[in-house]
């Protein structure tokens, strides 16, 4: 349940903290006092889109924080799935701060979260019903989700939608392949034309880097030959070369082997140096004796090969690795065309198997919906009878349709407002007051499956008064009577207000030249005064006060 709500700088409210009890709570007040501000604050807390206009004039931010506690096991499990946990006292704090620069900060506990995550958590805790929701009831496209909600079809619907996405993907793939097959000859010719140059080029991975290195070496062939020849001479060929000097040193050390123990080791080390010099000299000799004409011819071949690669890269608009990828993709596509009939047959078989599974899931969904609709019809009719609509017949009409994103069912809620009349769509039959009561009946029926512990109603008393208003109030009170659901209701009805367990008054006054809204909890005398105001207006006498007291006395007996 919602145990408290703290509001700062929201519209006319400077700062206000509200404490809520369980059961049935009403908020009343004169038009313009700020009752809608409470709903705006709750909407912000539920992740609604932020609007800087909601910030109190002259302030830099708006802030709302709600404290929820007393969670049932189902809600606790759903919160765990979202990795959200109440604190050590069993409380969960949600908050939202809107800055004048448009920045919005949402928090769950002390952790900052995206607004979407705040919304996902809030949806498990609180349901806000306004006049717009009542109007949506007349939109038949919203009826199927209502039935699914009542039937608890979340998991089944998720599985169906995944299968439907796979099915539509297969259908699209088959169409694409058939379209391709219709001009297969032209496509094959085009692919073969593109492939011809790539296949002829016989590209291989890493070749371009090797060619670049070879080109660099061959361009400097003359310089390399000259330098290698000079180095070869210094190391090996010339008189007094390094190899000759090392050999002389080795001879000198050999004569010292008997006199100097270290001479043998030093001799062996020089021998290793002599071998290394010989090996380097042999390599340099190869470079030094390279034929300049041969190098020029080899460079010409390398340049031609690189030019061919550059031309292919320009033609295909990619790099060397992209050419290899393009060649493989073209080969694969050509193979697919050549084996197109077999590929389409495989896709068709997969589509048929997928459709069979999809049909089974749709059938399971349909059975669940129809079974739930039978129960829902009875519950809503019973509730409508208690709301002074005893003759209404409530029907959920099903029509079979080809597989769609939500199944194979088209659903529309029909009502017959008077005995003996043919059921017709809500949009053509129900008045505003009837729609409000039908929505309340829906909410009452859905409360057992919705799992939301806080339900907020606004404009639920639209178009009703007297006995009907009292019956509506009783329905709201019964909805909260079990202890599992906390009901908050903004109302202009004295009959509904009299039935509340907690009565909050929204008022406004001027302070230091500024208008402020304030929410206060009313005691018994305060309730008498407020209910009398609702009945008689600004000025009322003893008779109106007596009527208010009588309403409260009678309400206490119900």
pLDDT in tens, 301-316: 888 888 888 888 888 8
Q: Give Cα separations from 378 to 138, 395, 442 (angstroms).
A: 20, 9, 11
The reported pLDDT for the residue numbered 107 is 93
**Looking at domain 1-136+448-522, what is its CATH homologous superfamily?**
P-loop containing nucleotide triphosphate hydrolases (3.40.50.300)
How confident is the model at residue 135, as a pLDDT?
A: 62
CB atoms within 10 A of CB 500: 26
Section 359-378 average pLDDT = 95
Residues 63-82 have a mean pLDDT of 88
What is the DSSP code string of 410-475?
Answer: EEEEEEESSTTPPPEEHHHH--HHHHHHHHHHHHHHHHHHH--SEEEEESTTTT--HHHHHHHHHH
Residue pair 292/225 in contact by the 8 Å Cβ criterion? yes
Q: How large is the average pLDDT for residues 475-483? A: 82
Mean pLDDT in residue range 113-128: 89
- Measured between alpha carbons, how far is 253 from 265 in angstroms, rounded to an integer? 10
| Exposed/middle/buried for residue 105 (C-beta within 10 Å: 0-12, 13-18, 19+) | middle
Phi, then psi, of 14 in degrees rounded to 5: -75, -55
Percent of the chain beyond pLDDT 70?
93
Main-chain phi, psi angles of 34, to 5 degrees:
125, 20
Distances in Å between the Cα of 59 and the Cα atoms of 11, 13, 16, 123, 134 are 10, 11, 15, 29, 34
pLDDT at 408 > cutoff 90: yes
- Per-residue pLDDT tens for 280-339? 877 777 676 666 567 677 778 888 888 888 888 888 888 988 898 988 888 888 877 777
How confident is the model at residue 290, as a pLDDT?
Answer: 62
Q: How many CB atoms lie within 10 A of CB 360?
A: 12
Q: Per-residue pLDDT for 431 more than 70? A: no
pLDDT band at 136 (very low <50, low <70, confident <90, very high): low
Rounded percentage of the chain residues whose pLDDT exceeds 90: 26
Q: Quick check: 8 and 492 in contact, CB under 8 A?
A: no
pLDDT for residue 52: 84
Among the listed residues 14, 5, 1, 112, the one whose alpha carbon sits nearest the alpha carbon of residue 509? 14
What confidence score (pLDDT) does residue 432 get?
Answer: 66
First-last CA distance in the chain: 24
Calculate mean pLDDT across residues 114-127: 89
Cross-sheet strand order for the sheet of 13-19? 13-19, 2-10, 61-68, 92-99, 104-108, 111-113
More confidently predicted of 429 and 522: 522
d(CA 492, CA 472): 13
CA diameter of the chain: 140
Predicted local confidence at residue 68, as pLDDT: 92
Tokens coding 85: 């946990």
Q: In the numeric block, which tokens belong to residue 412?
A: 């529309």
Quick check: 22 pLDDT over 80?
yes
The predicted structure's pLDDT at residue 289: 63
Question: pLDDT by residue (tens digit) across 209-264?
Answer: 888 888 877 776 667 666 776 777 777 777 777 777 888 888 888 888 878 888 88
CA angle centred on 235, ends 233 and 237, rounded to 5°: 40
Give mean pLDDT, residues 116-145: 81
Average pLDDT, the chain: 85
Q: Which pLDDT score is estimated for 523? A: 92
What are the residue boundaries of the structural domains of the chain, listed by start? 1-136+448-522, 185-338, 523-558
pTM for the whole structure: 0.61
DSSP 105-124: EEEETTEEE-HHHHHHHHHH
Q: What pLDDT score was predicted for residue 132?
A: 62
CA distance 23 to 476: 9
- Using only C-alpha atoms, what is the Rg of the chain? 43
Please state the rounded mean pLDDT for residues 142-147.
Answer: 88
């Amino acid at each position: 349940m919602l145990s408290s709500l703290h509001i700062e700088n929201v519209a006319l409210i400077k700062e206000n903290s509200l404490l809520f009890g369980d059961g049935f709570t009403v908020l009343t007040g004169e038009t313009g006092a700020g009752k809608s501000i409470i709903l705006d604050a709750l909407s912000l807390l539920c992740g609604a889109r932020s609007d800087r206009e909601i910030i109190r004039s002259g302030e830099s931010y708006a802030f709302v924080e709600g404290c929820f506690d007393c969670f049932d096991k189902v809600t606790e499990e759903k919160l765990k799935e979202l990795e959200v946990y109440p604190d050590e006292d069993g409380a969960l704090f949600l908050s939202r701060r809107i800055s004048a620069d448009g920045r919005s900060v949402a928090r769950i506990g002390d952790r900052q979260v995206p607004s979407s995550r705040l919304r996902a958590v809030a949806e498990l805790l609180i349901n806000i019903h306004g006049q717009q929701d009542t109007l949506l009831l007349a939109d038949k496209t919203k009826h199927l989700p209502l039935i699914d909600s009542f039937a608890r079809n979340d998991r089944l619907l998720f599985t169906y939608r995944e299968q439907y996405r796979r099915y539509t993907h297969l259908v699209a793939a088959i169409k694409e392949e058939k379209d391709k097959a219709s001009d297969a000859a032209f496509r094959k010719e085009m692919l073969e034309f593109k492939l011809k140059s790539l296949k002829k080029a016989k590209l291989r991975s890493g070749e371009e880097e090797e060619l670049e290195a070879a080109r660099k070496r061959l361009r400097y062939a003359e310089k390399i030959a000259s330098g290698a020849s000079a180095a070869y001479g210094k190391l090996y060929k010339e008189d007094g070369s390094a190899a000759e000097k090392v050999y002389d040193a080795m001879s000198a050390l050999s004569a010292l082997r008997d006199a100097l123990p270290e001479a043998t080791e030093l001799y062996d080390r020089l021998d290793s140096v002599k071998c290394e010099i010989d090996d380097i000299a042999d390599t340099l000799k190869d470079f030094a004796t390279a034929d300049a004409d041969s190098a020029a011819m080899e460079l010409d071949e390398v340049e031609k090969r690189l030019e061919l690669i550059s031309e292919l890269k320009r033609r295909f608009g990619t790099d060397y690795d992209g050419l290899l990828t393009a060649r493989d993709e073209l080969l694969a596509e050509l193979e697919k065309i050549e084996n197109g009939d077999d590929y389409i047959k495989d896709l068709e078989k997969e589509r048929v198997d997928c459709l069979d599974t999809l049909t089974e899931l749709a059938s399971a969904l349909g059975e669940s919906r129809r079974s739930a609709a039978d129960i829902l019809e009875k519950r809503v009719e019973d509730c409508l009878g208690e709301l002074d609509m005893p003759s209404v017949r409530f029907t959920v009409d099903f029509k079979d349709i080809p597989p769609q994103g939500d199944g194979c069912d088209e659903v529309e809620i029909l009502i017959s407002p008077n005995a003996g009349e043919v059921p017709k769509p809500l949009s053509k039959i129900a008045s505003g007051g009837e729609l409000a009561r039908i929505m309340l009946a829906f909410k009452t029926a859905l409360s057992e499956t919705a799992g939301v512990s806080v339900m907020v109603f606004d404009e639920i008393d639209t178009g009703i008064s007297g006995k009907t208003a009292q019956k509506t109030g009783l329905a709201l009170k019964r909805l909260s009577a079990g202890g599992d659901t906390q009901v908050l209701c903004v109302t202009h009805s004295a009959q509904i207000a009299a039935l509340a367990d907690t009565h909050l008054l929204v008022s406004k006054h001027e302070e230091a030249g500024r208008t402020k809204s304030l929410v206060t909890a009313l005691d018994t005398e305060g309730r008498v005064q407020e209910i009398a105001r609702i009945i008689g207006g600004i000025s009322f006498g003893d008779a109106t006060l007596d009527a208010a007291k009588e309403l409260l006395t009678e309400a206490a007996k119900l």
